[in-house]
Chains A and B, each alone.
Chain A
Amino acid sequence: MAAESGKIDPMHQFEVTPLGGGFTLGGHDILFTNSALWMVVAAIALGLFMWGGMRRQLVPGRWQAAVEGFTGFISNMMMANIGTEGRKYTPYVFSLFMFILFCNLLGMLPLGVLGLHPFTVTSHIAITGVLALISFAIVLVVGFWRHGLHFFSLFVPHGTPLPMIPIIAPIEFVSFMVRPFSLGLRLFVAMTAGHVLLKVLSGFVINGFNAETLWLGSIVSVLSFTLMIGISALELLVAGIQAYVFALLTSLYINDAVNLH
């Protein structure tokens, strides 16, 4: 952070820095970066969380009940949106939901106080885009596997009048092809915007106390800090909602592939 120049760069937090451990794969250098570190941290935290729910007691304790709350939430969503066949896809959607949720929440941790630099993995379009593409690929594979070329009837909604088909079908096709982009972009934009906003406000807090007219700067700082508390709460909500939206839309898209409207 370029604090010494009195200028705070809100984009610095998205910077990927190498932490070492490089090797070459297919002509590309693969380095262990801070992004990879936070993915691994999220995976380990998720693993510990799930492990605490593996006691398999008939009457669950608090931790087991929490884990079962998450698994039940996703299985019910799959059951409601897809039906009994949805159980097959629950492992994928659950992994997706929990990975995104943990990455979102870990990025919100106030570790900057300890001098660490938290990194929000899901604020990178490369990450969210790949996750969206995996979901989209599953939809395509399942759709063509189950329905063959009949899968293209997805672009003709049920009950469309015959003369409307040449107009409706291209619109449906475009909206179908836009899905992976909107899916990946939504999460990336929500995370990036929230973190930029928080960083800009924290810049106001710092610059306010460093201002020449201290009384005015202090007012700005205190107001900004109050706003930051509220926005942090909002961002925690957004972290959960965006993970939910990603999982929900994935389940809806898989439903299209499984049940064709």
Chain B
Amino acid sequence: MPQIAQLTADNWYLASQLFWLLVVFAGIYLVIGRGMLPKIEATVDARDRKVADDLAAAKAAHAAADSLEESYRQQSEASRAAAQKAVAEAKDKAAKDAEKRLAKVDAELGAKLTAAEAEVAAAKSSAMAEIESVASEAASELVAKLSGANVSATDAKAAVKAVLRG
């Protein structure tokens, strides 16, 4: 077995094996392990950092958009509420105004009506009085012509009143 045979002291190739192993492995360690590996790791680290940064930026932008949308929503809700309130107030005021005007007009009309009624009543009573006096005169004249009896004006009046109202 050549692998075991080389471990004996008088073997010619053990020294060569060890020498070349140390030379080659030291070369690999220095050039690849110390030279190339850190650069590749730095590239990977830079990429990882960039990805993490980009993800964080995207997350922040997302959060900002969310808060913007929220504030917009709140604003629109507030303005809608304000508009609804203004409309309700205007409606309320208009209703009150109309009511007031209506009441005023109503009162005026009532007053006119009572005045007219009073006039009518006055006219009626004066007309009645005239009719009574005319009727009593006519009645006394009629009585005088027919019977020759003189009827006093008061009696005639009372008789006419009784007939008219009775």
A residues at B contact (CB < 8 Å) = 11, 14-16, 18, 25, 28-33, 35-36, 39-40, 42-43, 46-47, 50-51, 53-54, 56-58, 60, 67-68, 71-72, 75, 90-92, 94-95, 98-99, 121, 123-127, 130-131, 134, 188, 192
B114 to chain A minimum Cβ distance, whole angstroms, is 99
Chain A: CB-nearest residue to B47: A58
Q: How many angstroms from the CA of A210 to the CA of B93 in the assembled complex?
A: 120
B residues at A contact (CB < 8 Å) = 1-4, 6-7, 12-22, 24-25, 27-29, 31-34, 36-41, 43-44, 46-47, 50
Whether the pair B16, A54 counts as a contact (CB closer than 8 A) is: no
Most buried by B among A11, A30, A60: A30
Whether the pair A50, B36 counts as a contact (CB closer than 8 A) is: yes
Q: How many angstroms from the CA of A197 to the CA of B47 in the assembled complex?
A: 45
- Between A and B, 10 residue pairs with Cβ closer than 8 Å are A14-B3, A30-B16, A36-B17, A56-B43, A91-B37, A99-B25, A125-B4, A126-B3, A127-B17, A127-B21
B54 to chain A minimum Cβ distance, whole angstroms, is 11
Whether the pair B25, A95 counts as a contact (CB closer than 8 A) is: yes
Q: How many angstroms from the CA of A51 to the CA of B36 in the assembled complex?
A: 8
Q: A58-B47, A72-B44, A125-B7 are in contact. Are A94 and B2 (CB under 8 A)?
A: no
Chain A: CB-nearest residue to B24: A39
Whether the pair A75, B41 counts as a contact (CB closer than 8 A) is: yes
A164 to chain B minimum Cβ distance, whole angstroms, is 38
Q: How many angstroms from the CA of A248 to the CA of B27 in the assembled complex?
A: 22
Q: How many angstroms from the CA of A32 to the CA of B21 in the assembled complex?
A: 11
